[in-house]
Amino acid sequence: MSRKYFGTDGIRGEIGKAPMTPDFVLKLGWAAGKVLASQGVPLVLIGKDTRISGYMLETALQAGLVAAGVNVRLLGPMPTPAVAYLTRTFRASAGVVISASHNPYQDNGVKFFSADGTKLSNATELEIEKYLDKDLETVCSKHLGKVERIQDYSGRYIEFCKRSIPSDVSLQGLRIVVDCAHGATYQVSPEVFTELGADVIKIGVEPNGININKNCGATSLAFLQENVKHYRADLGVALDGDGDRLMMVDENGEVVDGDEVLAIIAAHRHENGTLGEHVVGTLMSNLGLEKAIEGMGLTFHRADVGDRYVMEIMRKTGSILGGESSGHTIVRDRIATGDGTIAALQVLHAIIDSGKSLKDLKRVMAKYPQTLVNVRIKEKIDLDASSAIQKAVKTAEKQMGDRGRVLLRASGTEPLIRVMIEAQDESETKQLANMIADVVMQEAG
């Protein structure tokens, strides 16, 4: 069965428009509570990012959970991976994050973690959706859930992150600019790097409810690049609004993206004998990453786009490392979800061990030129059923032969069609990507 509300990363949308309305989120809390209550007397942790709408949705969500007889602990602003970690640590039945990740402040969303800190299974999400179609029935008063607001959980996550690298590794001598995107990491991630000895310059740490991800963070790197050069830092770390993505820049302000981060960690862990034989990327991963991983004598796997699909392949192959070009990096023997802070620490560990700069380390892979064009659409279109789109794709593939590849896919979190061309010649990628994008735009009306 296909899911009606859940996408690849929970339920997300513009505030005030279905499904991101208070009444729907109240019902969602109740529906999730009914599913969880069937597994015993449950406890659910709720964290959120810094969007102004988070207060409204937090209130609605907890009301729904309480109506279903679920006890709730409110964490306040907390990175998505921190909620995943704390859910497992406190033996909660589930964790919930109110966030739209890298999206602008007008959007928000709700995503769930299971008791073991991983994304909910498709089957569980479908079960929740079944309850969304039923009438809300409150449990009797004596069985209503209770709500407690917790103030001291951030310190536990900071210590957890610090323990993700060996205790004898110090960041002393490194100057790092950390951009928290005015999001959920603003109180914790700079503290992690500071306590490990780094000289930290904090930016993007003044959330006001509407500036999350605005011209900063992992999706807008110019702000970080300027500050790295201004402060003559060794490198920059950029996180997104909920802290599960990482992008970096080197001492010259050059971007180090998710593929390069994955390659650096893979090379370091492989050299130390702590990687295994498999690394997982996605259909969007650069061909240069695949070549680099294979050059290490390892096997590279491509999953569908979305960290839940990366994790599925990681489980099947026993991989401990996987990720996406966009910056989701999963180091599975550290935490079972994408964590930008922990991924950054893995790179910093490689820098300390090797004595090399980030600029030198990223040379482990040679990127193939890649052009990505996002076409905004009003309604879903069937890409396979459009003869015009398929003709454009075949034309591009014929022109490139074995020198490149075409990837066409709908975004799982936004109303977009993504057109990606990867080839040895950069001008050719741009020409072909724009050609296909124009056809998609015409078909989308």
pLDDT digits (tens, 9 = 90+) for 5-21: 998 889 999 999 999 99
How do beta strands 94-98 and 43-48 pair?
parallel
Helix axes 387-400, 426-444, angle to 10 degrees: 170
pLDDT digits (tens, 9 = 90+) for 205-226: 999 999 999 999 999 999 999 9
The rounded distance, in Å, linking the Cα atoms of 208 and 246 is: 22
Tokens of 34: 């009914």
The overall average pLDDT reported for the chain is 94
Calculate the CA 222 to chain-centre distance. 20
Q: Dihedral sign for Cα 308, 309, 314, 317, please.
A: positive
| pLDDT at 271 (0 to 100) | 97
Parse the chain into domains and list their residue ranges: 11-153, 171-256, 258-339+357-364, 370-444
Predicted structure pTM score: 0.89
Give the pLDDT band of residue 404 (cuts 50, 70, 90). confident
Decide if 386 is catalytic: no
The rounded distance, in Å, linking the Cα atoms of 241 and 48 is: 10
Structural contact between residues 209 and 183, judged by C-beta atoms closer than 8 angstroms? no
Name residue 194's amino acid. T
User: What is the architecture of the domain spanning 171-256?
Assistant: 3-Layer(aba) Sandwich (3.40)
- Identified catalytic residue from 101, 164, 220, 326: 101
- Residues 146-152 have a mean pLDDT of 90
User: How many CA atoms lie within 13 Å of 98's alpha carbon, on the beta-carbon side?
Assistant: 32
pLDDT digits (tens, 9 = 90+) for 257-269: 999 999 999 999 9
Tokens of 435: 């050609």
pLDDT at 29 over 60: yes
pLDDT at 40 over 70: no
Domain 258-339+357-364 has CATH 3.40.120.10: yes
| pLDDT at 444 (0 to 100) | 82
User: CATH assignment of 370-444, given 3.30.310.50, 3.30.70.980, 3.40.140.10, 3.90.79.10?
Assistant: 3.30.310.50
pLDDT at 1 over 90: no
- Residues 330-354 have a mean pLDDT of 97
Give the Å distances, CA to CA, from 185 to 202, 254, 255, 336, 339: 11, 23, 21, 18, 11
The rounded distance, in Å, linking the Cα atoms of 11 and 413 is: 8
Give the pLDDT band of residue 421 (cuts 50, 70, 90). very high
**Which is the CATH superfamily of the domain at 11-153?**
Alpha-D-Glucose-1,6-Bisphosphate, subunit A, domain 3 (3.40.120.10)
Per CATH, 11-153 and 370-444 having the same topology is answered no
pLDDT digits (tens, 9 = 90+) for 245-299: 999 999 999 999 999 999 999 999 999 999 999 999 999 899 889 999 999 999 9
Torsion of CA 171, 337, 8, 136, to 10 degrees: -120
